[in-house]
């Protein structure tokens, strides 16, 4: 390796402690501009020559955002791991990651389609299985682990490998010094929330504009509320002028510093309702309390899933455009705990967005973190009902005990079950205000969303799904479809199948690495003409604009989950469509949603050519994915009280699902797994 580049590598040492053998290893393995990742850069590729690079000082730049930089850099590290090196790779032009800029001195990728970054990432070894070649990760927050792979209260991971992990078992990233580079790139700016008080407030119902996109908006403008000019400029630049009905009802109360429990439908602007007042709290805090090396955390926002936390961070980034002195960070599962600890030590953090499991990890294991939490002035529980549904009650209680009693607390929830009311007693003050923006007698689902259900034999589901998607694509050139599946492994199977059928498809589920999920989520958010196959990690709160169709394949966990999934379309008053595809033995679920306007739709015919095409595509799906899907499917329906009650009938249905995947014999399942499911010695199952 040229001496001047080796010198550049040695410059890394003060910033990234390396073992003595690291530098020689790096110098023999790949060529890259190390200083490019030392300045919290936005990672935009740039052309350079080796000689010019050795002398040039690159300008300091702010990160685009934490989630963007993390995805970008994680992808870069993965590229280094999977690249093939030869002499020809050391020179010549390369196309940039996003905008086609030329690059030099980069390893040559084996994938010929260099421009399709998401597709390439999805096809890398390890990414297909969702494991991304990582051994162990820090406590994976149970925030996204699908119910499919839980048996007997424990979480089953690995798509059919037979290893049971509890939510407390740690995972660590494989290898490395490369991870040290990640720690320097994960600082971003986003914002959070503020205030509340008790008494029941129910805003006057507003007539909805028929099919109009303004039906969820009020007549009140943001410049009519008492927020700072800088915040108003951020709101305006984010594209907001009028408040939603939810914001109109909650913002004035929160800005007065009262505790609030707010009930509101999904897609009605809840995030801005707590972010904007929270930013005001931080902005009004004297600089002497904010500019210390380790300032107290002033605003703490807790979200149930990584996607919701990242989305709240992105929204806050927009609102904080004119508040450059406010430091915001996010801590979520899927990243190493040590990296987050280093980032929070090196960078200020007045606003913190977190998932509950990871936040508790920091309280217990990060030095000085509990002390910083004693400065919290605003605590926000977003999607409170979902937090409790996912079993975070104990984590939330510990977090509440770790923040000051003299604070403002906000709880936003789509539903108010008894467990949410119980948490209110410990999280909110007695005089908190309950604001209900869902009027009695109003529909729980958006009225502009047409809902239909189809009941068909299980062996026809794949063909019917393909026909339904093709019909929708033909009807709407700007289609944007979400397909919800019962489990993460079934999601992977369906995504691969639709890809074999030449549909433009992506997948998101809990077995995909966080950087991949972030990248795909952003692509789907900004794109049209795309199908996203997903598990329930996308069911609540995630804002994908302009979704035209939501298809739910198989039995939802419950009525609320059906409603939340459907809520991904028809947002901001726009029209949408929802289809529920069930097998005959799943139609009992319809009785739980009989009060919703769900129409029975005729089952479309499947011509012989289409059936043959789908069967051929099914035969091309990897066997390991079929085996993982079978096991996950069996575990999911075994946990359903009605379906799992009769174990013999359950096995018959599982083997019917196996045959729908083109398998003559059902895949064998480890004896340990069968024992955990209570399915040992049941005829029709194969063990190994």
Domains (range + CATH), the chain: 198-436 (3.40.50.300), 443-688 (3.40.50.300)
pLDDT range class, residue 440, cuts 50, 70, 90: low
Between CA 285 and CA 374 the distance in angstroms is 15
Q: Where is pLDDT greater, at 194 or 500?
A: 500
Query: Does residue 682 register a pLDDT over 70?
Result: yes
Query: Does residue 373 register a pLDDT over 60?
Result: yes
What six digits make up the tokens of 531?
């199908």
How much is the pLDDT for 73?
53
Mean pLDDT of 597-626: 94
Query: Does residue 112 register a pLDDT over 50?
Result: no
Mean pLDDT of 245-268: 90
CB 556 within 8 A of CB 565: yes
Q: Where is pLDDT greater, at 206 or 358?
A: 358
Mean pLDDT of the chain: 75
Q: Where is pLDDT greater, at 505 or 32?
A: 505
Q: What is the pLDDT of residues 135-159, one digit of tens each?
A: 334 443 444 444 333 333 333 333 3
How much is the pLDDT for 50?
41
Tally Cβ neighbours within 10 Å of residue 565: 24
Query: Does residue 544 register a pLDDT over 70?
Result: yes
Asked which of 81-85, 220-224, 425-429 is least confident by mean pLDDT, the reply is 81-85
Between CA 14 and CA 34 the distance in angstroms is 13
Verdict on whether the full-model pTM lies above 0.75: no
How much is the pLDDT for 633?
96
Q: What is the pLDDT of residues 230-242, one digit of tens each?
A: 999 999 999 899 9
Asked which of 356-360, 467-471, 509-513 is least confident by mean pLDDT, the reply is 509-513
Q: How far is CA 419 from CA 148, 445, 537, in A?
A: 23, 22, 22
Long-range contact pairs involving 200-208 (C-beta distance under 8 Å, separation at least 24): 200/433, 200/434, 200/435, 200/436, 201/249, 201/253, 201/433, 201/434, 201/435, 201/436, 202/435, 202/436, 202/437, 202/439, 203/245, 203/248, 203/249, 203/435, 203/437, 205/439, 205/442, 206/245, 208/447, 208/573
pLDDT above 70 as % of the chain: 66
How much is the pLDDT for 265?
76
pLDDT range class, residue 573, cuts 50, 70, 90: low
Mean pLDDT of 13-36: 44
Q: How far is CA 364 from CA 171, 271, 357, in A?
A: 17, 28, 11
Tally Cβ neighbours within 10 Å of residue 96: 16
pLDDT range class, residue 335, cuts 50, 70, 90: confident
Measure the N-to-C terminal CA separation of the chain; round to a whole number of Å.
51
How much is the pLDDT for 444?
59
CB 364 within 8 A of CB 388: no
How much is the pLDDT for 325?
85
Q: Phi and psi of 532, rounded to 5°?
A: -115, 115
Instruction: Give one DSSP letter per residue of 604-625, joined into a string.
Output: PP--HHHHHHHHHHHHHS-HHH
Asked which of 43-57, 148-162, 400-414, 602-616 is least confident by mean pLDDT, the reply is 148-162
How much is the pLDDT for 443?
56
How much is the pLDDT for 106?
40
Query: Does residue 209 register a pLDDT over 80?
Result: no
How much is the pLDDT for 19?
45
pLDDT range class, residue 414, cuts 50, 70, 90: confident
Query: Does residue 132 register a pLDDT over 80?
Result: no
Query: Does residue 406 register a pLDDT over 90?
Result: yes
Q: What is the pLDDT of residues 166-200, one digit of tens each?
A: 333 333 333 333 343 333 333 333 333 333 334 44
Tally Cβ neighbours within 10 Å of residue 415: 16
Between CA 523 and CA 539 the distance in angstroms is 17
Nearest to 319 by CA among 344, 283, 289: 283
pLDDT range class, residue 336, cuts 50, 70, 90: confident
How much is the pLDDT for 92?
39
Nearest to 554 by CA among 467, 455, 482: 455
How much is the pLDDT for 584?
95
Query: Does residue 513 register a pLDDT over 70?
Result: yes
How much is the pLDDT for 155?
37
Instruction: Give one DSSP letter per residue of 481-528, joined into a string.
Output: EEEE-SSHHHHHHHHHHHHHTT--EEEE-TTS-HHHHHHHHHHHHH-S
Q: Where is pLDDT greater, at 298 or 53?
A: 298
pLDDT range class, residue 288, cuts 50, 70, 90: low
How much is the pLDDT for 439?
66
How much is the pLDDT for 535?
92
């Amino acid at each position: 390796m040229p001496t001047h580049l080796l010198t550049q590598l040695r410059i890394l040492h003060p910033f990234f402690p390396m073992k003595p053998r690291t530098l020689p290893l790096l110098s023999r393995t790949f060529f890259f501009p190390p200083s490019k990742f030392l300045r919290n850069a936005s990672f935009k590729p740039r052309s350079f020559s080796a000689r010019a690079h050795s002398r040039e000082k690159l300008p300091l730049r702010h990160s685009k955002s934490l989630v963007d930089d993390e995805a970008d850099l994680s992808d870069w590290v993965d590229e280094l791991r999977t690249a093939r090196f030869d002499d020809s790779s050391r020179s010549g032009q390369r196309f940039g990651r996003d905008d086609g800029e030329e690059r030099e001195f980069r390893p040559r990728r084996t994938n010929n389609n260099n421009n399709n970054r998401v597709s390439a990432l999805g096809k890398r070894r390890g990414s297909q299985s969702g494991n991304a070649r990582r051994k162990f990760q820090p406590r994976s927050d149970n925030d996204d682990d699908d119910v499919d792979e839980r048996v007997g209260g424990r979480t089953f991971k690995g798509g059919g490998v037979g290893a049971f992990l509890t939510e407390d078992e740690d995972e660590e990233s494989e290898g490395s010094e490369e991870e040290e580079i990640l720690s320097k790139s994960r600082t971003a700016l986003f914002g959070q929330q503020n205030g509340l008080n008790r008494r029941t407030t129910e805003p006057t119902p507003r007539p909805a504009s028929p099919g109009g996109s303004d039906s969820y908006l009020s007549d009140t403008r943001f410049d009519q509320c008492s927020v700072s000019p800088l915040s108003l400029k951020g709101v305006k630049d984010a594209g907001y002028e009028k408040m939603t009905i939810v914001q109109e009802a909650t913002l004035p109360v929160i800005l007065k510093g009262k505790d609030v429990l707010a009930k509101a439908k999904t897609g009605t602007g809840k995030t801005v309702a707590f972010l904007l007042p929270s930013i005001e709290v931080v902005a009004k805090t004297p600089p002497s309390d904010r500019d210390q090396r380790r300032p107290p955390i002033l605003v703490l926002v807790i979200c149930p899933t990584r996607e919701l936390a990242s989305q709240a961070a992105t929204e806050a980034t927009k609102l904080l455009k004119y508040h450059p002195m406010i430091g915001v960070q996010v801590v979520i599962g899927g990243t190493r705990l040590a990296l987050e600890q280093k980032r929070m030590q090196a960078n200020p953090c007045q606003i913190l967005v977190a998932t509950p499991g990871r936040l508790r990890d920091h309280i217990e294991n990060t030095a000085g973190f509990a002390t910083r939490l004693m400065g919290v002035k605003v605590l926000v529980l977003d999607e409170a009902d979902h937090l409790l549904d996912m079993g975070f009650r104990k984590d939330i209680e510990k977090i509440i005990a770790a923040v000051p009693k003299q604070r403002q607390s906000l709880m936003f929830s789509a539903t108010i079950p008894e467990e949410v009311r119980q948490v209110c007693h410990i999280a909110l003050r007695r005089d908190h205000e309950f604001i209900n923006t869902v009027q009695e007698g109003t529909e729980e689902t958006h009225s502009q969303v047409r809902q239909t259900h189809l009941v068909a034999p299980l062996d026809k589901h794949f063909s019917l799904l393909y026909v339904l998607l093709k019909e929708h694509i033909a009807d709407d050139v700007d289609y944007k479809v979400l397909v919800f599946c019962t489990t993460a492994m079934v999601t992977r199977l369906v995504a691969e199948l639709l890809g074999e059928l030449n549909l433009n498809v992506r997948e998101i589920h809990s077995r995909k690495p966080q950087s991949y999920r972030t990248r795909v989520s952003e692509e789907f958010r900004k794109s049209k003409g795309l199908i996203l196959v997903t598990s329930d990690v996308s069911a609540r709160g995630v804002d994908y604009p302009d979704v035209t169709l939501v298809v739910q394949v198989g039995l939802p966990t419950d009525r609320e989950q059906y409603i939340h999934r459907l809520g991904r379309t028809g947002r901001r008053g726009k029209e949408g469509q929802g289809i529920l595809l069930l097998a005959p033995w799943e139609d009992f679920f319809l009785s739980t949603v009989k009060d919703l306007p769900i129409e029975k739709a005729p089952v479309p015919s499947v011509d012989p050519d289409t059936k043959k095409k789908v069967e051929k595509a099914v035969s091309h799906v990897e066997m390991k994915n079929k085996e993982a899907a079978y096991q996950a499917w069996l575990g999911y329906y075994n946990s359903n009280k009605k379906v799992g009650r009769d174990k013999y009938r359950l096995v018959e249905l599982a083997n019917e699902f196996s045959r729908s995947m083109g398998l003559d014999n059902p895949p064998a399942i480890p004896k340990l797994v069968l024992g955990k499911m209570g399915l040992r010695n049941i005829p029709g199952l194969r063990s190994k």
